[in-house]
Chains A and B, each alone.
Chain A
Amino acid sequence: MNVLIVGCGRVGAWLARLLDADGHQVTVLDTDAYSFRRLRFPGLLNEFKGTALVGNGIDQDTLKKAGIEQADVFIALTQGDNRNIMASQIAKHIFKVPRVICRIYDPLRQELYSNLGIGAISPTAIFADLLKAQLEGKAEK
């Protein structure tokens, strides 16, 4: 698979490494080159062999340079919900990427954009549910 990840935070970098290790072709985009330090795992794990590029994930020219036209999967993982939402809609509607996944912290916005056909995931809702399940003793079973 050809995967384009926007946002090289902890999650973005970790996901990039996992997919890269499985042999997928991965490109990571971030506005700050310093973020790419997270792609180095000296001595511990396999080195990331994909592409890291500096650029804005809601800029169509940048996305083209990052190869969005060839991407099978687009994943938006920046810190801003609205950036992720906009980047995902560019990927889906302008570049027709077959699969678009978008992190949205706000559970209400996540619900809305799921209904609008964006693969939206809310870590807030998922983690709160997980904690609640654990407190209720369901997680161990």
Chain B
Amino acid sequence: MYIVVIGGGKVGYYLAKALLGEGHEVLIIEKDAGVCEEINEELGSISLRGDGCEAATLAEAGTERADMLIAVTGDDEDNLVSCQVSKHKFNVPRTIARLKNPQNETLFKMLGIDVTISSTNVILEHIEEEVPTHALTHLLVLEGQEIVEIKIPPEASTVGKAIRDFSLPPDSKLLLIAREKGKNVVPAPNTILAVGDRIIALTTHDTEEKLRDILVGD
């Protein structure tokens, strides 16, 4: 499938990475030139600088041949407009918007846009800080699959162990290990887990707890 992603922030980046891993053709549209450059450096030439709400940018992105458009910027209204323009001007069969405010779900669905809610991200992160057992944060939920962030707490029994020591559930895949000061590591069998690692993983609703238990080790 050809999938256009609007917004190259944290969510857009991991989403694109996961989709590429599944063998899809992906393009990220992002306003910030610096962010585009970073994406191209890390993931190959898969970003286009521009405003994902503008018909001209969407045309340049080849949106008319896209099978799906996923808008994951931080603003509900921008995500709405990107989806509507691609739906009505470029006949994209499936559009998905990330929502911050769950209240908007009804409106988006009335307008024929599928919705993924990651509103509670910020709140969850707070909870995570205060309740160390809550180590799993949902970054994005998509058609049964989801991208989650799992934080390795100091007391985790897995600290110091290598990725190859774990038997991960078959439908889960580790995408990236985010470390302090933006030092990110692509998980390899010999990568050793450290305290404070934030592991970005692709998993499913049914397996997320299992994956968390394996990585955090309780």
Question: Measuring CB to CB, which residues of chain A are less than 8 angstroms from any residue of chain B?
Answer: 58-61, 80-83, 85-86, 89-90, 93-94, 106, 108-109, 112, 115-116
Q: Is B54 located at the chain interface by the 8 A CB criterion?
A: yes
Q: Which residues of A contact B106 (CB under 8 A)?
A: 94
Partner of B81, one of A59, A85, A94: A85
Taking CB as reference atom, which chain A residue is nearest B81? A82
Query: A58 contacts B77, CB within 8 Å?
Result: yes
* Smallest Cβ-Cβ distance to A57: which chain B residue: B77
B111 touches A80 (CB 8 A): no
A89 to B111, CA, bound (A): 9
Q: Do most interface residues of chain B lie in helix, strand or loop, or is the interface mixed?
A: helix
Cβ–Cβ < 8 Å partners of B103 in chain A: 59-61
Known: A58-B76, A81-B53, A86-B81. 20 other contacts (CB 8 A): A61-B103, A80-B77, A81-B81, A82-B78, A82-B81, A83-B77, A89-B111, A90-B104, A93-B107, A94-B106, A94-B107, A108-B54, A108-B55, A109-B53, A109-B81, A109-B85, A112-B84, A112-B85, A112-B88, A116-B88
Chain B: interface residue count, which band? 20 to 34
Q: A112-B84, A112-B89 are known contacts. Are A93 and B77 too (CB-CB below 8 A)?
A: no
User: In the complex the two chains form, is A82's CB within 8 Å of B75's CB?
Assistant: yes
Interface residues of B (CB under 8 A from A): 53-56, 75-78, 80-81, 84-85, 88-89, 101, 103-104, 106-107, 110-111
Q: How many A-B residue pairs have CB under 8 A?
A: 56
Is chain A's interface secondary structure helix, strand, loop, or mixed overall? helix
Which residues of B have CB within 8 Å of A60?
A: 103-104
Minimum CB distance partner of B55 in chain A: A108
Q: In the complex, what distance in Å separates the CA atom of A33 from the CA atom of B110? A: 32
Q: How far is the CB of A89 from chain B (nearest CB, A)?
A: 6
Which residues on B sit within 8 Å (CB–CB) of A112?
55, 84-85, 88-89
Q: What are the residues of chain B within 8 A of A106 when measuring CB–CB?
A: 54
Which residues does chain A contribute within 8 Å of B89, judged by CB atoms?
A: 112
Contact B76 A116 (CB under 8 A): no
Chain B residues with CB below 8 A from A109, complex form: 53-55, 81, 85
